[in-house]
């Protein structure tokens, strides 16, 4: 990716701790500038939240965490990398997203606003009015939206239009629509925030996902999300960078000295690593945010191998790559509020991915992978498997009889799988109002820390969660500015 940031004079070195998509994106940007980069990964495979595995039956491919990628397809940085040359192929379903209601009807997104509008009946024109202008300008807006709040916008009028839609509570913006299908469709997208939806700025994530989806769709990576990681590693290695696996970093002693060090971890994870020299972890206040870092609700995930696929009552859901469950907009709003308060909802919001609809290479014969996770309270310790299966059965009677394989990941399992997922929070930290604005602190350069040469490049920095690489890119640009000034 071309940049106005000058390359540093003379050979420089960098260490990146963590090989998630942001860590790899940061490493690539540094390598593009001639920096010698080493990425250290504690697991035996790279990828962080972007891995794929045979979790249920041999040959049935399940995405372990991230699954659907509207922001990946729409990432300004990924678009400038030769990822296709290293095997990445995006695949799109006929219907991007469906949100079934209890009466068997559903709201649906269909790739662009002009295809979506007819699916929303009386709300079609209103949907086009609300989201069409943002979708049309998303390629220009992405650079402004996918970065720090504090910055000089390149497209101020477009950013203003986005802001007018992003600023209100999602519960208020949903009232723009008359039909329960359109209201639920929007609220389900907004619920990716994993925070109460009656607060200011809670419309931001939903607006971004809809706009990105209307422009780029909600695709999957052929063969699994691991293909994104494989492509990023391929680009990095082509530039001379390396990834060292099975190298867990617990303290300063676990990584070599370098001109710059970037952490694809949470602020608290970084603080624990940098402060363990004398056995006393340094608090995150000095190294990252000016306040204790907060974590949000958790994911409780059930992967299923389903013979013949899910028999949805709403026909449009059978063609959808993603399905949101949880009932009406009001029901989803109540569930998200409860989970954020630490109360397990009776009927939680559930995200279902049917990647095989777009990518049949995930399946074995007529046995298909189905990926489903519920938003539950932080650190939730009780079994929520039946809650998820009951909601599936509500909208797809008979689905239980088709299940031939099952794998469960609790919030604790997520944290064991990836230490960044504290208490099962897969987003790198709560998306409350303060941490949306100050992630991890309010600054035009929130990636630099108080420790010279140390940077945070994870989803705990702007623009937050999602497989887009923009956190890594911007942290690397911050590091390059320092190197150039030396």
Listed residue (240, 245, 230) closest to 13, CA to CA: 240
In-domain check, residue 56: no
User: Do 437 and 407 lie in a common domain?
Assistant: no
For residue 184, the enclosing domain spans: 90-214+297-416
Give how far Cα 38 sits from Cα of 71, 206, 239, 460, Å: 26, 36, 12, 21
Q: Are 388 and 350 in contact (CB under 8 A)?
A: yes
Listed residue (392, 383, 386, 318) closest to 351, CA to CA: 392
Q: For 42-52, what is each residue's pLDDT tens digit?
A: 999 999 999 99
Q: For 70-105, what is each residue's pLDDT tens digit?
A: 999 999 999 999 999 999 999 999 999 999 999 999
How many Å apart are CA 139 and CA 245, to the nearest integer?
35
Give how far Cα 158 sits from Cα of 88, 138, 149, 154, 168, Å: 31, 9, 15, 9, 17
In-domain check, residue 156: yes
User: Do 272 and 326 lie in a common domain?
Assistant: no
In-domain check, residue 8: no
Once rounded to an integer, what is the mean pLDDT over residues 17-34? 98
In-domain check, residue 285: yes
User: Do 395 and 343 lie in a common domain?
Assistant: yes
In-domain check, residue 162: yes
What count of other Cβ atoms lies within 10 Å of the Cβ of residue 228? 27
User: Do 205 and 324 lie in a common domain?
Assistant: yes
The 3-state DSSP class for residue 260 equals strand
Q: For 138-191, what is each residue's pLDDT tens digit?
A: 888 888 888 887 776 777 887 888 888 989 999 999 999 999 999 999 999 999
pLDDT at 285: 41
User: Do 135 and 207 lie in a common domain?
Assistant: yes
User: Do 343 and 196 lie in a common domain?
Assistant: yes
Give how far Cα 97 sits from Cα of 217, 251, 409, Å: 9, 43, 24
Inform me whether the pLDDT recorded for 278 exceeds 80. no
pLDDT at 83: 98
Paired with 13 in beta bridges are 36
How many Å apart are CA 16 and CA 119, to the nearest integer?
45
Q: What is the pTM of this model?
A: 0.93
User: Do 332 and 352 lie in a common domain?
Assistant: yes
Listed residues 361, 385, 416: the one ending a domain: 416
User: Do 173 and 105 lie in a common domain?
Assistant: yes
How many Å apart are CA 81 and CA 71, to the nearest integer?
15
User: Do 197 and 345 lie in a common domain?
Assistant: yes
Total structural domains in the chain?
A: 2
Inform me whether the pLDDT recorded for 365 exceeds 90. yes
In-domain check, residue 7: no
User: Do 399 and 429 lie in a common domain?
Assistant: no
How many Å apart are CA 325 and CA 349, to the nearest integer?
6
How many Å apart are CA 91 and CA 229, to the nearest integer?
16
In-domain check, residue 63: no
Query: What's 22's domain CATH number?
Result: 3.50.50.60
User: Do 371 and 473 lie in a common domain?
Assistant: no
pLDDT at 419: 93
User: Do 105 and 26 lie in a common domain?
Assistant: no
Listed residues 355, 381, 416: the one ending a domain: 416
Query: What's 409's domain CATH number?
Result: 3.90.660
């Amino acid at each position: 990716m071309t940049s106005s940031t000058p390359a540093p004079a003379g050979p420089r070195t960098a260490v990146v701790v963590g090989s998630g998509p942001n860590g790899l994106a940061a490493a690539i940007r540094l390598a593009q500038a001639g920096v010698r980069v080493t990425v250290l990964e504690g697991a035996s495979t790279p990828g962080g939240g972007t891995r794929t595995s045979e979790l249920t039956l041999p040959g049935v491919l399940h995405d372990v965490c991230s699954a659907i990628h509207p922001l990946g397809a729409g990432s300004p940085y990924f678009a400038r990398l030769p990822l296709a040359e290293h095997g990445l192929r995006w695949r799109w379903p006929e219907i991007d997203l469906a949100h079934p209601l209890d009466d068997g009807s559903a709201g649906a997104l269909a790739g662009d606003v002009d295809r979506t509008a007819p699916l929303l009946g009386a709300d079609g024109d209103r949907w086009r009015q609300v989201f069409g202008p943002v979708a049309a300008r998303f390629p220009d807006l992405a650079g402004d939206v996918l970065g720090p709040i504090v910055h000089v916008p390149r497209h101020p009028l477009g950013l203003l239009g986005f802001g007018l839609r992003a600023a209100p509570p999602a519960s208020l913006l949903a009232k723009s629509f008359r039909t329960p299908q359109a209201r639920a469709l929007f609220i389900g997208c907004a619920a990716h925030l994993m925070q109460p939806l009656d607060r200011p700025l809670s419309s931001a994530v939903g607006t971004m996902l809809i706009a990105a989806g209307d422009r780029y769709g909600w695709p999957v990576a052929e063969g699994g999300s691991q293909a994104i990681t494989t492509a990023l590693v391929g680009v990095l290695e082509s530039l001379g960078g390396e990834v060292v696996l099975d190298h867990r970093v617990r303290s300063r002693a676990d990584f070599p000295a370098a001109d710059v060090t970037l952490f694809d971890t949470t602020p608290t994870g970084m603080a624990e690593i940098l402060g363990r020299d004398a056995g006393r972890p340094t608090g995150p206040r000095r190294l990252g945010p000016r306040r204790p870092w907060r974590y949000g609700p958790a994911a409780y995930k059930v992967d299923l191998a389903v013979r013949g696929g899910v028999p949805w009552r709403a026909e449009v859901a059978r063609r959808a790559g993603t399905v949101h469950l949880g009932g009406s907009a009001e029901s989803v709003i109540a569930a998200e509020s409860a989970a954020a308060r630490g109360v397990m909802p009776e009927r939680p919001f559930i995200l279902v991915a049917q990647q095989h609809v777009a990518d049949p290479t995930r399946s074995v014969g007529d046995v298909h992978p189905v990926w489903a996770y519920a938003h539950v309270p932080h650190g939730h310790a009780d079994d929520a498997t039946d809650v998820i299966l009951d909601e599936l059965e509500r909208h797809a009677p008979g689905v239980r009889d088709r299940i031939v394989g099952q794998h469960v990941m609790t919030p604790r399992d997520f944290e064991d799988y990836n230490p960044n997922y504290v208490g099962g929070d897969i987003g790198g930290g709560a998306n409350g109002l303060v941490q949306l604005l100050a992630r991890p602190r309010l600054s035009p350069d929130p990636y630099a820390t108080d420790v010279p040469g140390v940077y945070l490049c994870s989803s705990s920095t702007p623009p937050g969660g999602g497989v887009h690489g923009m956190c890594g890119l911007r942290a690397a640009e911050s590091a390059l500015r320092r190197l150039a000034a030396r």
